[in-house]
A and B are shown apart, each in its own frame.
Chain A
Amino acid sequence: MMQQAVSAASGEPLLAVDDLVVEYPVGAKIVHAVSGVSLQIARGETLGLVGESGCGKSTLGRAVLQLRRPTSGRVLFDGHDLTTMQGDALRQMRRRVQLIFQDPIASLNPRRKIGDIVAEPLVIAGVKDPEKREQLVHEVLSAVGLDPTLVVGRLPHEFSGGQCQRICIARALILNPEFIVCDEPVSALDVSIRAQILNLLEEMKGRFGLTLLFIAHDLAVVKAVSDRVAVMYLGRLCEVGPSEQLFARPAHPYTALLIEAIPVPDPDVRPTETVPVGEPPSPIAPPSGCRFRTRCPRADQRCSDEVPELRAVAPGQFVACHHPLI
């Protein structure tokens, strides 16, 4: 499927995903997790990726890092196609890209000391001098707001969820990567801790000159950190655009629905009861044409016959819809 390249306003993209397809078998059936997604992320940019559970956003994030090999399509990182890389070449490239997971406690080995956990990427990368490693561990732990002398000798269970996420961020930063996929990094955290971690990610992004793919289901969280936002539904992109523009004037009915469904902490704003009933269909047998049509108030015959392609509706804003809102 041809899709228009959806790029940032300017600059050479650090990451370009081109018509990426990820499918995997479940029994005799095929799950269509990602079906032809193209996107680009400029150096220094944060692209937010939102969607409901099962929409393929995490699969997309993993396929970008080659943790799950895509079925087809290309992933160009700084001009190199990761999908054709093997062995040492891929390992070398992986030093430049990192991943932060949703569950910070589960992503730390419970039997290893924090100092060893954070130093492990250095060991794998071949930094042999223990003093050098210790110095780097101390630097990066301080950067994420932890006291290295108090932390390095302890085990993960001695820390709260927020602190464990700080440790995960430190581990992701220690090789000085250029690009980090953050997969729901604050979803498991309480409100008061969530703000701390979001602020920390923003600070680290500036300090280490990072480019981020920020995956989350919470639109408010995504908006807080993203330059541009991509909305995903059942394996396809619905809409991509600059954050503020997308929230102010969503073009895709699904984007509008997601925005409307966010509970607003103001008792004067009555909750709208217009959210359509129904749930996303199974990615094993996605609907023909536009995959959102079974829940869309604007759907007609054309939506079931024809797959809508991403096209520009405003500067930098692209929508895959036959009947966009703008």
Chain B
Amino acid sequence: MTGNTLLSVEDVVVDLPTPRGNLRAVDRVNLTVGAGQTLGVVGESGCGKTMLSRAILQLLPKKAKLSGRVMFDGQDLLQLSPEKLRKLRGRSLAVVFQDPMTSLNPVLTIGTQLIETLQEHLELDDATATRRSIELLAAVGIPAPEQRLAQYPHQLSGGMRQRVAIAIALSCEPKLLIADEPTTALDVTIQAQILDLLAREQRRRHMAMILITHDLGVVAGRTDEVAVMYAGRVVERAPTPALFKKMRMPYTEALLAALPKLDAAPHTPLPAISGRPPDPTRPMLGCSFSPRCRYAVARCHTEKPALEAAETSEHQYACFHPIEVHAEAVA
């Protein structure tokens, strides 16, 4: 990553106490995001991607234990006072969640929520804040924005609510937007519209973005770099084109292969990944993907591979037996 690193996540560990023992949700994750860059974080449910985003935002559950360092725009977020953190969140660090109903207040109008955010962080007078709110709603593609100000979230469709949540997130010109499965609850045509909207606003505002998703298809065309997570760890990380051209970690390859292909004939059996992810309350000795991996050998079950750089420093993977076939095909 170039010199203008905006966010760096260093050795972040998140532990959650559960009745069945300690659950390590995030296990020594290192990531960086440059200004204006988009990082895709891909993984299945329970892989720790949401806990990682909450660790960055400092919005973890109260009983969670966090260690490591989160440097954002020159500040160590773990050292900031709650008051300073609150000022930062919404201002330069914004978030859009999967379900807009969890972030929108159901008893306040759209206008109240937008204006409140603007006035909290930017000290605007009522008239300016109202004008800005209308501009923002128009920018995210909401028809008749003046009338929407007086409406409540339940009066809007799911796609429209997500647009409002995005308008609120963008309202104070954040430097980093964390979008946590922003389109998972939406239909495919609305998903395309929302992803286009995020990409357009990101380019226009030169904003950095972390796009968290379970869908490799979503990150392929819309990110600069991708980190693949499995069982709390980043298992592969590479610039997006490099990752899709030359997957090294067997999990990434298996995840892509398991997607139904549009160009395959009907009734073609899918190369499924057998088994299921490990129980996160039971720490494993070896690579956590090894029980499901078709390349696994004895060493994979007893020793944990570190996330190491491949032939280029930008492409990292945690695997003793990375896939080579693609390398030959390219050569």
Contacts and interface: CB of A to CB of B under 8 A. Distances in A.
Real binding pair: yes
Interface of A: 52-53, 160, 162-163, 190-196, 198-199, 202, 217-221, 223-227, 243-244, 247, 257-271, 273, 275, 277, 279
Given A192-B277, A217-B187, A279-B160, 5 more contacts: A52-B187, A194-B258, A195-B271, A220-B261, A260-B192
Nearest to A190: B44
B216 interface: yes
A162 B194 CA distance: 29
Interface stretch (B24-32, B90-98, B114-122, B217-225): B217-225
Contacts, number: 139
B291 to A, nearest CB: 13
Interface of B: 44-45, 141, 157-160, 187-193, 195-196, 199, 214-218, 220-222, 240-241, 244, 254-256, 258-262, 264-274, 276-277, 292
12 contacts: A192-B254, A195-B260, A198-B272, A218-B188, A220-B259, A224-B268, A243-B266, A261-B192, A267-B241, A273-B196, A275-B193, A279-B160
A138 B166 CA distance: 51
Contacts of B269: 199, 202
Contact of B192 (A202, A219, A271): A271
B260 A198 contact: yes
What DSSP secondary structure best describes chain B's contact surface?
A: loop
Nearest to A197: B272
Shortest 9 CB-CB contacts between residues of A and residues of B: A263-B217, A195-B272, A224-B260, A195-B270, A192-B273, A190-B44, A52-B187, A195-B258, A220-B260
Nearest to B226: A267
Contacts of A227: 266-267
A270 B192 CA distance: 12
Contact of A52 (B188, B199, B255, B272): B188
Contacts of B222: 271
A265 B160 contact: no
B191 A263 contact: yes
B258 A270 contact: no
B266 A224 contact: yes
A295 B195 CA distance: 19
